[in-house]
Amino acid sequence: MNFVAPDFMPVLPEIFLLTMTCLVLVIDVFLEQRQRHITYGLAQLTLLGVALLVLLTYARAPTTTMFGHYVKDAMGDLLKFCICLASAAAFLYSRDYLRQRDLFKGEYYVLGLFGVLGMMVMVSAHSLLSVYLGLELLSLSLYALVAVDRDSPVASEAAMKYFVLGSLASGMLLYGISMVYGATGSIDLQVVADAVARQGTNDLVLVFGLVFLVVGLSFKLGAVPFHMWLPDVYQGAPTSVTLYVGSAPKLAAFALVMRVLVDGFGNLQGDWQQMLVILSVLSIALGNLVAIVQSNIKRMLAYSTISHVGFLLLGILAGTPEGYSASMFYIIVYVLMAVGAFGVVILLSRTGFEAENIDDFKGLNDRSPWLAFVMMVVMMSMAGVPFMAGFYAKWVVLQAIVDVGLVWLAIVGVLFSVIGAFYYLRVVKCMYFDKPERNELIEVGRDVEIAISANGLLLIILGLYPTALMTWCSTALLN
């Protein structure tokens, strides 16, 4: 049997990322603590290089390589580009935070880069094997990142919870993959899709395999009732890690759902649609209601994430190209909002003080009007206030649901969005109408100031002119 070498050109960004990450790991070993900025710079250069390679090799048509385990298409390239930008922003915002807490070490950046590699593998997965490999590479990096502050018992506890529950979810996913393989004889998503089209719901093993896959994916997304890890991890991890965990991986999770459910099990849409309806309603309801009673802003944003995951699932369960592009637009905007929110939380923290409580935002407008304005834009966008990016994102998702006749689901989404606006606006009220409890000067580097400003302004621009990004999402999914 002759071995035919696969085409490595479509995998060029991943090869470059892996090579540079290993290089950063080796170089970091020989650096002293005062030279650690070299590791940071190399990590940022790596992400910039990957983003440029993704754009330079942008897919005009889907290409499958690596013996059918990898697909390069426009959807994957757009999500990879956004993952690189979100990760670069997370590294930038975290730099001073890590330095103040003696956590400015190479491990954070190396694990972060390996996490990005896992996300990119997930985004381009064309088989259930590459789905699992990408997911585990990301998960193992995140487990270690959450525990990066070895002296913090809270972080260690959060990492243990994440690891144990994540292992259970991985087991569920792997069990589902084995059942699908047993029913179809393949792990290639295209072959699985063809087998599903032939067998349909007649094969109970296939249906049970789908159920286990949905359970595993729901855990990774943080959808109710598989959300129990998310608030504890968000609160227990250092804020720099929470920023990373709560942003870029959500883009990879969206791609994972699209690859597995839409590409692999599109012909069983009637089955997984019912499961997603339950997951989305529970997530939107519980996320918004429990967030109201939170006093810790990281925990509040965790429950906010759960509610946003519910909205993300609404677009996917619509089962139409409009619904898929609406969900893709939604998740990109959500990541932009999450990076901005946790970025401001990090900037308010300083040596020996964590700005974790909502009361820590009291009087922020008196201390830093511009930071207060950025946080207000982020909160209002998350709440879905008109003329913000979050409003348009929710609008297109609800429109996709209404178009397929699920009006009651859209009404549930609107109702809980109105309820959820309370806890977002409470943060705005604290910043603008309460007296500050502290008067310390907020020191922000020029590069961080530019990034956080661009972050906030993008949410306004995308709210007023969403057409460009929405069109990009639509064309990427049609490719």
If DSSP states are collapsed to H, E and C, what string results for the chain? Answer: CCCCCCCCHHHHHHHHHHHHHHHHHHHHHCCCHHHCHHHHHHHHHHHHHHHHHHHHCCCCCCEEECCCCEEECHHHHHHHHHHHHHHHHHHHHHHHHHHHCCCCCHHHHHHHHHHHHHHHHHHCECEHHHHHHHHHHHHHHHHHHHCCCCCCHHHHHHHHHHHHHHHHHHHHHHHHHHHHHHHHCCCEHHHHHHHHHHHHHHCHHHHHHHHHHHHHHHHHHCCCCCCCHHHHHHHHCCHHHHHHHCCHHHHHHHHHHHHHHHHHCHHHHHHHHHHHHHHHHHHHHHHHHHHHCCCEHHHHHHHHHHHHHHHHHHHHHCCCHHHHHHHHHHHHHHHHHHHHHHHHHHHHCECCECCCEHHHHCCHHHHCHHHHHHHHHHHHHHHCCCCCHHHHHHHHHHHHHHHCCCHHHHHHHHHHHHHHHHHHHHHHHHHHHCCCCCCCCCCCCHHHHHHHHHHHHHHHHHHHCCHHHHHHHHHHHHC
pLDDT digits (tens, 9 = 90+) for 281-312: 999 999 999 999 888 899 999 999 999 999 99
CA atoms within 13 A on the CB side of 463: 24
Which residue type is seen at 289?
L
pLDDT given for residue 303 in this prediction: 93
pLDDT given for residue 2 in this prediction: 59
Low-confidence ranges of the chain (pLDDT < 70): 1-5, 201, 351-352
pLDDT digits (tens, 9 = 90+) for 373-385: 999 999 999 998 8
Quote the CA–CA distance of 120 and 356 in Å, as a whole number. 31
Q: With contact defined as beta carbons under 8 Å apart, do 391 and 381 qualify?
A: yes
Nearest to 94 by CA among 247, 233, 232: 247
pLDDT digits (tens, 9 = 90+) for 10-52: 899 999 999 999 999 999 888 888 888 899 999 999 999 999 9
Quote the CA–CA distance of 24 and 42 in Å, as a whole number. 7
Total Cβ atoms within 10 A of residue 8: 11
In angstroms, what is the C-alpha Rg of the chain? Answer: 21
**Which residue in this structure is represented by tokens 């990109």?**
332
Q: With contact defined as beta carbons under 8 Å apart, do 103 and 238 qualify?
A: yes
- Overall size of the chain counted in residues: 479
| Angle between helix 321-348 and helix 389-403 axes, rounded to 10 deg | 150
pLDDT given for residue 352 in this prediction: 65
pLDDT given for residue 286 in this prediction: 92
pLDDT given for residue 3 in this prediction: 56
Q: What values do phi and psi take at 465, rounded to 5?
A: -130, 70
Quote the CA–CA distance of 326 and 370 in Å, as a whole number. 31
Which residue type is seen at 477?
L
Quote the CA–CA distance of 407 and 410 in Å, as a whole number. 5
